[in-house]
Homo-oligomer: A and B are copies of this chain.
Amino acid sequence: MYTAADWPIAAKMAFPAAEAVADASGEAGKLTGHRRCTCSSPVSVWRQQLKSVADMGYRYIDPIDDWLHLPELSDDLFAEFKKLLDEFGLSVWAVSFGRRSPMDRQRWRENIAAYKRTIDRAEALQLRVVNIGFMQDLTPEQQRAQWFWHVDGYRDDPALRDVALERVADVAQYAQRRGVEISLELYEDTFLGSGKMAAKFVQDLGAKNVGINPDVGNLIRLHREIEPWEESFEYVLPYANYWHIKNYVRDFDPATGAYYSFPAALEDGYINYRWVIYRALELGYQGAFMTEHYGGDWLGIGARNARYIRSVVRSYESLVAAQSADGMAAKCAAGIGK
C-alpha cells in the first residue's frame, strides 16, 4: 500500500531523443516529429535530462518510447542507462509506448516484438507495467495543426476488434509469465475510444494482468462532443492499473459551434481530479501516476501536478483515518461543484 509520501509519480520524459540513440534505434524521432538532440553522446544527453527531472523532485520516470527505444538499446547502453538512474535516485515503474499500435498495418509484428523485448527487460528494471494503445502515427494534417488533437487522426476498424483482442491477449500472456502488467490507454477513435469502450474491451479480454490507463485527458481536449468525464472515469477506474494524468480547460460556444481547449494544471482544468483521485483510491487504485502535459513548461507543470497529487492523496488519507467506522464515499467528500 503506497502512501501520500511514497506514491510512485513518474515524469513523462517529454524531452527530445538523443540523436545517437535515435540512430541506434532506427526510426526513433521520425515517429513523433520530435526534434533530435545534437549533443555529444546519448549518455551525456540522458544525464542532463535525468538530472532535470530529479532536480524537480521526481523519483520515477516513464521512459516513453519516443524518448528512448528501450527494446532496441544495446546491452552496453542499457547498462549505462541503469547506472544513470541509480546516480539520480530514479526508478522506472512503467514504460509507455506512444504510437506503436499492435494493429499497425505495416509494423504490427515489429511493435509487438518491441513490447516483448521491453517485457524481457522488466526484471532488470523492476518494471511493473507496460502501457500500450491503439493510436497510430500522426497524419500530416495533425502534424501541421497547432495541436494534433485539432484534426481527426487514425481510426480503428471495428471489424478488426477480435484481431485486436487476440493480439493483446498474446502480449498479456507473454507479460503474465514475467510478472508484468499491461495497461491499455484510452484514446479517441480507437478500440479504447471512450470509458465505456475501454471497459468493455478489458472485460471481453478477461486477462487478469491487463488493466486500463484512464487517460481521460486524451478525450476532453477534443474539439467535438465527448463522453462526460465523470462517466468515463466511472467506467474505467475499476480497471485502472497505470495513469497518464493530465487536465485541460474546455469550453464550447453554442452560437457558433466553436470548441476551445488548452492544457491546464491538474487543479485548474475541467476535470475535478480531487474527486477522481478520491474515487480511484476508494476503488483500491494502487498504480503509479505519470504526469503528462502538452504545451508550455511541461516539466514545471508536471512537478506542480506531482505535488498536487500527493496533497490530494494526503487529504484522502486524513478523511479515511477519521472515518474508520463508517467508510466514506468519494462523491460525498469531494463533490463535483456544479
A residues bordering B, Cβ < 8 Å? Answer: 14-16, 18, 33-35, 37-41, 44-45, 47-49, 51-52, 55-56, 145-148, 150-151, 223, 247, 249-262, 264-275, 293-301, 304, 308, 311-312, 315, 318-319, 322-323, 326-329, 331-338
Contact = CB atoms under 8 A, between A and B. Distances in A.
A332 B267 contact: no
A271 B262 CA distance: 12
A324 B220 CA distance: 43
A146 to B, nearest CB: 5
Contact of A48 (B51, B148, B333): B333
A47 B329 contact: no
Given A38-B329, A40-B327, A268-B296, 18 more contacts: A14-B337, A15-B335, A47-B323, A48-B319, A48-B328, A49-B333, A51-B319, A249-B249, A251-B260, A253-B259, A256-B256, A258-B260, A265-B268, A267-B300, A268-B301, A270-B295, A295-B337, A300-B311
Contacts of A51: 318-319, 322
Contact of A257 (B256, B308, B326): B256
Contacts of A261: 251
Contact of A260 (B18, B37, B260): B260
A286 to B, nearest CB: 22
A178 to B, nearest CB: 31
A249 B265 CA distance: 13
Contacts of A334: 15, 52, 299
Contact of A297 (B35, B41, B272, B338): B272
A52 B249 contact: no
Contacts of A14: 335-338
A67 to B, nearest CB: 9
Contacts of A326: 39-41, 44
Contacts of A52: 315, 319, 333-334
Contacts of A266: 297
A261 to B, nearest CB: 6
The interface centre, meaning the residue of A51, A145, A311 with most chain B CB atoms within 10 A of its CB, is A51
Nearest to A225: B146
Nearest to A56: B315
A73 B60 CA distance: 50
A296 B269 contact: yes
A315 B250 contact: no
Contacts of A323: 44, 47-48
A314 to B, nearest CB: 9
Contacts of A49: 332-333, 335
A268 B264 contact: yes
Contacts of A336: 14, 16, 34-35
Residue among A56, A145, A260 having the largest count of chain B Cβ atoms under 10 Å: A260
